[in-house]
Structure 1
Amino acid sequence: MSSRGFHVHGPHEHELEHAAQHEPKGFAGKLAVITAILATVGAFFSYMGGATQANAGILKNDAAIRKTEAGNQWNYYQAKSGKQNLAELALDLTASEEQKTKYRDKIARYEKEKADIKLAAEKLEAESKHFDEQSAEQLHMHHRWAQATTALQVSIALAAIALLTKRRWMEWATIAAGGIGVVLGVGAWLHW
């Protein structure tokens, strides 16, 4: 400012006045708040996506362990069947009534043991199937969480573009993408 009351603006002052006159009221502040909320919700969604992925892996591992245990039981069943077959052959080949009684007892014992082993193997197979189904459900939820997280990341990127371009429609695109992300996250939470 000069001594006669004449005021000269510097380039910085002019830019600040221009921004104050042409930037929508609170546009940058609103976008900052929206971005912060989206980032916070996105962090939660990302955590849930990682947790469900880890759960799916653990459940798949449990299914494989049960399947292996069931396979072991079926091998044991086959071994008992082989012994039973030998006892049946011996029964047919022996002439002594005392030996026939001994082999009949063995055959009956093997038959009972096989029935118990079969029940154990079938139980393990059912557990394996149950763990597989739970793993698939967790993996489905992981995909939902990942989709929700991706939508929120896109909305945060749109917020940055909106701030740089000062386009109001980009702010609405930010809110829309964020809304889609939230809906997908709620879907993951509700298991659909």
Structure 2
Amino acid sequence: MSGHGFHVHGPHDHELEHVAHGTDQFASKIAVMTAIMATVGALFGFQGGATQNDAAMFKNEAAIKKTEAANQWNFYQAKSSKQNLAELAMVLPGVDAEKYKAKVARYESEKESIKQVAEKFEAESSEWDKKSEAALHQHHRWAQAMTALQIAISLAAITLLTKKSWLQHTSYGVALIGVGVGVMAWLHI
């Protein structure tokens, strides 16, 4: 019938036209802030994932170094066993003691260099563990920041439904807390 000059608007149609023409500044502000919060939250989520991956990679590197240290300590133990056998052979009757004395000295010097390598691997493992812990701490900060922004977005949605300005301010406050925690993550605090 609208083609014949007669058209009836429902109350819902009037509200939609009202919002479409931009006269609802309250909803517009909430919509813009929600979009900003979602964008910042996405960035925080990306950073959180990246630091979680770093933490896992660093922990893996620590495990590799720990295994290399264990291998060196096993090698050290094998040299100690050979040294003990050579020391035992020195006291057996009818054996060339000087031959075994030289072996004992050689094993002793080899053990020292093996010990240094093992200790170096252990120190490297410890450093990788520290890097992993730092990255995991930073990941937790990013996750906290993202969670705060998600809560702020939820509050913004409730604000749109209720039209309560105190809820709008609460949403913005929670978003600011999220951004503050994000800054702490960025600064490694």
Calculate the TM-score normalised by the size of structure 2.
0.88
Aligned to 1:115: 112
- What is the Cα deviation at residue 121 of structure 1? 0.4
Aligned residue type for 1:69? E
Q: 1:13 to 1:150 in 2, by over 3 A?
A: closer
Structure 1: which 5+ runs fail to align?
Answer: 1-8
Aligned to 2:129: 132
Aligned residue type for 1:34? M
Find the residue that maps to 2:188 and give its secondary structure. Answer: coil
Q: After the TM superposition, list the runs of 4 or more consecutive aligned residues in structure 1 that deviate by more than 2 angstroms.
A: 9-17
Structure 2: which 5+ runs fail to align?
Answer: 1-7
Residues 94, 100 of structure 1: 8 Å contact kept: no
Aligned residue type for 1:41? V
Write the distance in 1 (CA, Å) between the matches of 2:72 and 2:13. Answer: 84
User: Equivalences for 1:71-110 in 2 at 5 Å?
Assistant: 71-95=70-94, 99-110=96-107
Aligned residue type for 2:111? K
User: Equivalences for 1:8-157 in 2 at 5 Å?
Assistant: 10-12=9-11, 16=15, 26-95=25-94, 99-157=96-154
Q: 1:82 to 1:159 in 2, by over 3 A?
A: same
Find the residue that maps to 1:32 and give its secondary structure. Answer: helix
Write the distance in 2 (CA, Å) between the matches of 1:123 and 1:94. Answer: 41
Write the distance in 1 (CA, Å) between the matches of 2:77 and 2:13. Answer: 91
User: Residue 180 of structure 1 is aligned with which of 173, 177, 186?
Assistant: 177
Aligned to 2:156: 159
Identity percentage of aligned residues: 56
- What is the Cα deviation at residue 14 of structure 1? 9.3
Measured against aligned partners, the alpha-carbon deviations of 1:49-91 in whole angstroms (never above 9, x if no partner) come to 0111111111111111111111111111000000001111111
Calculate the TM-score normalised by the size of structure 1.
0.87
Write the distance in 2 (CA, Å) between the matches of 1:34 and 1:121. Answer: 56
Q: 1:127 to 1:38 in 2, by over 3 A?
A: same
Write the distance in 2 (CA, Å) between the matches of 1:13 and 1:74. Answer: 79
Q: 1:56 to 1:13 in 2, by over 3 A?
A: closer
Residues 59, 134 of structure 1: 8 Å contact kept: yes
